[in-house]
Amino acid sequence: MIIRKLALPRRTFLRGAGAMLALPLLDAMAPALTAAAKSAANPVRRLGFVYFPHGSVTWSKDQNLWTPAAEGRLEELPPILSSLTPYRDQVTVITNLEMKNAQGNGRDGNGEHTRANATFLSAARPKMTVRSDVRLATTVDQIAARELCRDTRLPSLELALDSNFLVGNCDDGYNCVYVNTIAWSSPTTPLPAETNPRRVFERLFGEGGSEAEMQAEARADRSILDAVTEDLARLRSTLGPGDRGRVSEYLDTVREVERRIRMAEAQAGQSDLALPAQPVGIPDSYDEHAKLMIDLQVLAYQADITRVFTFMVGREQNARPFPWIGVNDGHHSVSHHQDNPEKIAAIAKINAYQVELFGYLLRRLQETPDGAGSLLDHSMLLYGSGISNGNLHDHKNLPMLVAGGGAGQLEGGRHIRYAEQTPMANLLVGLLDRAGVHVDRFGDSTGRIDLEPLSL
C-alpha cells in the first residue's frame, strides 16, 4: 500500500497474506477526489434489490394491512409496514404496479411462482423449459452494475437465505434455475445467489486461492485483520483523529462479523441430531442468518467493494415455517389462505417480520456515515414481491416500496398511487434514471415512473 502525506486514493486497500481489506470513505481521501466539496455534491450512488416471496396480504377484517390509506404524504404506516416508521421520511410506497410477463394468460402452464421470481428484475417472460436451454433477459441490477461498478472490486453481490441447489423441474415445466436467483448477467446466464456468509466474507475480503486454501483459512483461529497489521499501523500513523475513529469503527464491524460467522460454524457442528450436511458458516437461526447477510451487504457498501446487490429473503414456493413469531405452517401454505382468518393472520405475521428485517437493513445503512451523509442517504433500495395476492397468484398491484435518499435523487415519506396496471418495468427504468444510468426502454416498459423529488 502506498500512503501519501496529503491524500489517500479512494481505492486504498490494506494488504496481507491472503487478505485484502478495502477502506471506508475517509476525510484523508477528499483531496484525492479533487476536493471535499466534490464528494459532498456528487456522492456515490448505490442500488439494492430485496425480494420476498408469496406476496403480501393486504386486507383483514376491513383493515388495510399493507397499502397506506391515502395518497400523498405518509402520515401513518399500515400495520405490516409499521416497523419502518423510524425511516418513514426515507420510504416511498408505490401501488398499482403490474408484471404483465408474469401473468399466466392461459399459456405456459401454472408456473406463477417461477414467473414471479424470474420477471421481478427482468420484466421479461422466462422460457418454459426444464432443460439447460433457459432464457430470460439481463436484469436491471446488472444493467446498473455495468455503469455504477466500473471501478469497484466486485461488479455486484447476489445473496439469498434459502437453499439454491434445486435442479430439474421446480414449477409446472420450468427449470429450477428461475427460482434460485433474481439476477441474470445475460439472457442465458443466471447469477447464483450465495447463501453462506463465510463465502460472502471471503469474496469481499479474501484474495482468492484454491478451495483447500480457503478451507484452511476458514479453520484458522485468527482474524483477517491479523494479516494486515503492518499496513494498518502505517495507515493510522498518517490519519487525523476523526479518520482514526472511522477506521476503528469499521474494523470493529469486520471483526464482529467474523466472530458471528465462527460462532455459526461452531454451532453447526454441535448438534446431536442426525441432520444432512449443513454448509459451513450458515447459522441455524434464520433471523441471525438474515442479519449477518445484511451486515455483509452494508460492509460491501461501506468499503465501496460493490455498489449493487440483490437479496432474496425467501425463494418462491419455499415451505419455511416461522415458529419464533408464532407461525408453524410453511410460508407457501399459509399464503394460500382461502380467506381463512387464521391463515391471513399468519401470512401477515410473516410479511411484517420480513419488513422488520428490511428495517434492520435501513437502520444499519442509516447509522453508517458516508461522506456528508449516511449510506442510506446515498442508496436506493427496492423492496417487493413478484406476487401481490398469494391466494390468487396475482401479479397486479404488487406490494412495492422504495427506500433511501438516492444521493439527493429521492424524496421519501409519501405514497404514490399510479394508474392501474402500470408496468413495474416503468419503476425499474425510473430507478436506473435516478442512479444516473439511462435506458430508453426495459422489458415491457411503456415509459418511466417519475421519481423526481416532490414537495408534498
Among candidate residues 144, 137, 145, 149, the one with its CA nearest the CA of residue 189: 137
Assigned architecture for domain 46-195+307-456:
3-Layer(aba) Sandwich (3.40)
What pLDDT sits at residue 41? 56
One-letter amino acid identity for 357?
A: L
Q: In whole angstroms, what is the distance from residue 287 CA to residue 392 CA?
A: 28
- The pTM is what? 0.82
What pLDDT sits at residue 273? 35
Torsion of CA 202, 208, 212, 215, to 10 degrees: -10
Q: How many C-beta neighbours within 10 Å does residue 132 have?
A: 8
Domain ranges of the chain: 1-42+198-281, 46-195+307-456
Going by the DSSP 8-state scheme, the letter that residue 313 receives in this structure is S
What pLDDT sits at residue 1? 40
Count of alpha carbons within 13 angstroms of residue 364, beta-carbon side: 21
Taking CA 365 as the corner, what is the angle to CA 364 and CA 371, rounded to the nearest 5 degrees? Answer: 135
- 3-class DSSP assignment, residue 50: strand
Cα separation values, 414 from 45, 52, 367, Å: 21, 22, 22
Among candidate residues 118, 154, 132, 115, the one with its CA nearest the CA of residue 22: 154
How would you write the pLDDT of the chain (456 residues) with one tens digit per residue?
Answer: 434 444 556 555 555 545 556 666 666 665 555 444 444 557 889 999 999 999 998 766 667 899 998 899 998 999 999 999 999 999 999 999 999 999 987 677 788 899 999 999 999 999 999 888 999 999 999 999 999 999 888 999 999 999 876 655 676 788 989 999 999 999 999 999 999 998 898 888 775 444 455 555 555 555 656 655 666 666 666 777 767 766 676 666 666 666 766 666 665 555 443 333 333 568 889 999 999 999 999 999 998 999 999 999 999 988 999 999 999 999 999 999 888 989 999 999 999 999 999 999 999 999 999 988 999 999 999 999 999 988 888 899 999 999 999 988 888 999 999 999 999 999 999 999 999 999 999 999 999 887 764 443
What pLDDT sits at residue 39? 47
* 74, 91 Cβ separation under 8 angstroms: yes
- String of b and e for 53-79 (b: at least 16 CB within 10 Å)? bbbbbbebeeeebbbbeeeeebeebbe
Strands in 72-73's sheet, in edge-to-edge order, are: 72-73, 414-423, 91-98, 400-403, 379-384, 46-51, 308-312, 157-160
